[in-house]
Structure 1
C-alpha cells in the first residue's frame, strides 16, 4: 500500500542546510499497521507529510497503492489526500464555522463518499454522538482530537497517516481510539502508519520502525 524508497529531505536554516531525512525506506502492506517511533526532531512528522503529499522530497520515491506520489503536481497531491489518504494531525485543523457533525463529514463529502450511517457509527464509537451540534470552540482539546480522527476515517481511506493521534487523550479514550483505527485496518484492508512516543501503544501495532538522525534504525522503542 505504501512504498517509500531512499527519501531525503533537507531544510535551509540560518546555520546552513539541515538534513532531516537521509535515505529513508520502508514498506507498509494493506491491512497492516506500523508504528513510527523516534526522538523529537528525528523526522517522523516530516516523513508523514511527504507520504501525504503535503511536502516534496528532495530525492527518492514514494508510491501509494502503486501510484507515485513524488512527481505529482499540486492538484494531484490534493486529489490523493481527498480520495486515498486519511490524515490525523497533531494540530486538529477543524473548521471553526462547521459544527461537529459537518466537520466529521467534511472529507467524506469532498471524496464523494458521504455515508451518514458510517458517520453515526464513528460518532458513537468516538464518544461524539452527544456533541454533533457543537462547534470546535465549544470542545475540549481531547474532544477536538476525536473529531479530527473521525473526519479522517469517515471517507474510509486506503492509507491512514496519524501523527500522535492519542497524544491529547486520556489513556482509556486513547485505547478506544486505537481500537477503532486498528478495526478499520482489519475490516477494510487499509494501512495505518502512526507516529507515537508510547511504547505501550506501539506494541499493539503489527510492526515498528525507529527513526534516528534521519535514518531508519533497529533501535527498540524506549
Structure 2
C-alpha cells in the first residue's frame, strides 16, 4: 500500500465547525495504481490533494505515504518528501520563466540530487519537447507548457504523481493529447497517479474513480 488516507477531517479557520471541508475521508492507493477523484466545485478535492502532498495539515485522522505518517513530519521532512517520493502537477503550469525547457525539466531533479540527463532526454522525447528544449516558456503553447510541467514532475522518478486538473487550462483536443502522454509515462514508470478532475470522461480512463460530495467520499 503506497498511500493510506484514514478518517481525515479538515476545517479552515473561521468556517462552520459543523461543516468541515473534509469529513472523515478515507481512501487507499496501491503502487502503480491510478485513481481519479471527482466532485462539484468547492467540495474539497484540491484540499485533499494538498494534504496528501504534505502541503497543508489536517485536524484529525492520518495519512501514510510510502510508510511515513505525515502528521509526524516536520517542514524539512515534508519538503524532502515532495522532492522525491511525491511530485505534483497543477492546472497552472508554474514553470520558471527565466529557465529554458531543458532547465525546467531538470529543475526538481537537480534540487533532489537525482538529475539524470538520459532520463530527462527520454522524457523530452516522449513528451514531444525534444525540438523545444532551448526555448523559454513564453514561447510555448499551453499544451507544451503543461507537458514540461509533467516532465519536470516525472524527472525525479516519484512513487506518486498528484495531478490537480492538469488539463483544465487546455482545449479538449490538446488536453486529451497531454493526458494520453501523461498516462503512458505513468504506466511505463510504475508511478501511482492520484488525479483530481471535473471530467467524468477522463476519470473513467483511470483504474478507479471516487466521488467526493459534501466533504465525504460518496
By the TM > 0.5 criterion, same fold?
yes
- Does the 8 A contact of 1:53 with 1:69 survive in 2? yes
SS of match in other structure, 1:193: strand
Task: Judge which range, 33-42 or 58-67, deviates more.
Answer: 58-67
Displacement after TM superposition at 1:172 (Å): 4.1
Partner of 1:220: none
Give the aligned partner of residue 177 of structure 1. Answer: 178
160-169 vs 25-34, greater mean Cα deviation: 160-169
* Matched position secondary structure for 1:113: coil
Unaligned runs of 5+ in 1: 218-222
Q: After superposition, give the CA deviation of every residue in 1:150-183 in whole Å (9 maximum; x if it has no partner).
A: 1111111000000011223344443343333333
Instruction: Give distance in 1, aligned partners of 2:181 and 2:63.
Output: 27
Q: Which residue of 2 aligns with 1:19?
A: 20
- After the TM superposition, list the runs of 4 or more consecutive aligned residues in structure 1 that deviate by more than 6 angstroms: none
8 Å CA contact 2:146–2:178 kept in 1: the answer is no
Over the aligned positions, Cα root-mean-square deviation in angstroms equals: 1.7
3-state SS of paired residue (2:180): helix
Structure 2: gaps of 5 or more residues:
none
Distance 2:27 2:178 in 1: 25
Aligned with 2:77: secondary structure?
Answer: helix
The number of residues matched between the two structures is 216
Whether the aligned pair in 2 keeps the contact of 1:104 and 1:154 (CA below 8 Å) is yes
SS at match of 1:179: helix
Corresponding residue number in structure 2 for 1:159: 160
- Cα 1:39–1:6 change in 2 (3 A) is same
Equivalence map 1:1-222=2 (5 Å): 1-13=2-14, 16-17=16-17, 19-217=20-218
